């Protein structure tokens, strides 16, 4: 099995180059796709400078949509979603996440940043709070199990957990040590960052009721079809002989 790394990025010019460099150095990554979600900084230019396939959305559509667009263009069966705001991503981190899926130990492996033994236990063992993470590796069939209505904004991560289990696929959670990320308040400023965090929390909270109580997905119709080049530009990596 080969691996496509999908990097959804919104104004990540400060960290994107390091993330792409780490992915390009890993022998486990066969393809890299960056989806710029309406970025207004140098995100697209940095991605193209690294000679990876770059998809530039003309307006911000939300993380789930960007991930979905990346999967639509992915060539391989295993998809590795990587947040563009990761700090100190290494080949060891990548291997610890990708290997369990390649070795068929699970169909989805979710990377959880180390936050201390107590918080790790409460989160992963006591199941206090949802397992949400933007760094995860999965077989394409796990992604395909999610109804299209949940492939938007911040819904996608919780939806992936739910429908992976509902379909009978195996999920692993791997604690990743010495991996940081830039928080929303640092990227957007205190007020806008807190507002974005509140919106994300509210959406995930409401989604719990939808998935586990109301289960509206049982009668929801398919969502929209991605427009072929109408709302984004596709820049192919140049072939070097």
Domains detected in the chain: 3-182 (3.90.550.10)
Question: What CA dihedral angle connects 164, 166, 167 and 168, to 10 degrees?
Answer: 90
User: Residue range 208-224: average pLDDT?
Assistant: 70
| More confident site: 183 or 24 | 24
pLDDT recorded at residue 81:
97
Distances (CA, A) of 183 to 12, 86, 156, 174, 227: 12, 10, 19, 21, 31
- Work out the average pLDDT over 211-228: 65
User: In this predicted structure, which of 107-111, 136-140, 205-209 has the lowest mean pLDDT?
Assistant: 205-209
With 90 as the cut, is the pLDDT of residue 121 above it? no
pLDDT, tens digit (0-9, with 9 covering 90-100), for 58-114: 999 989 999 999 999 999 999 999 999 989 899 999 999 999 999 999 999 999 887
């Amino acid at each position: 099995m080969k691996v496509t790394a999908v990097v959804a990025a919104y104004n990540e010019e400060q960290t994107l180059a390091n993330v792409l460099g780490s992915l390009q150095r890993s022998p486990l990554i066969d393809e890299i796709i960056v989806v710029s979600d309406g970025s207004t900084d140098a995100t697209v230019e940095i991605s193209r400078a690294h000679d990876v396939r770059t998809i530039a959305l003309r307006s911000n559509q939300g993380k789930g949509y960007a991930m979905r667009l990346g999967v639509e263009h992915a060539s391989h069966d295993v998809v590795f979603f990587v947040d563009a705001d990761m700090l100190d991503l290494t080949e060891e981190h990548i291997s610890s996440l990708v290997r369990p899926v390649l070795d068929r130990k699970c169909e989805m492996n979710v990377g959880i940043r180390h936050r201390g033994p107590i918080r790790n236990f409460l989160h992963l063992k006591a199941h206090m709070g949802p397992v949400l993470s933007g760094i995860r590796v999965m077989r394409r069939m796990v992604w395909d199990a999610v109804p299209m209505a949940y492939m938007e904004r911040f819904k996608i991560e919780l939806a992936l957990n739910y429908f992976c289990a509902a379909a009978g696929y195996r999920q692993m959670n791997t604690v990743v040590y010495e991996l940081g990320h830039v928080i929303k308040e640092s990227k957007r400023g205190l007020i806008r960052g807190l507002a974005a965090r509140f919106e994300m929390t509210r959406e995930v909270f409401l989604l719990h009721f939808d998935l586990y109580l109301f289960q509206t997905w049982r009668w929801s119709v398919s969502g929209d079809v991605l427009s072929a080049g109408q709302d984004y530009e596709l820049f192919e990596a140049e072939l070097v002989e």
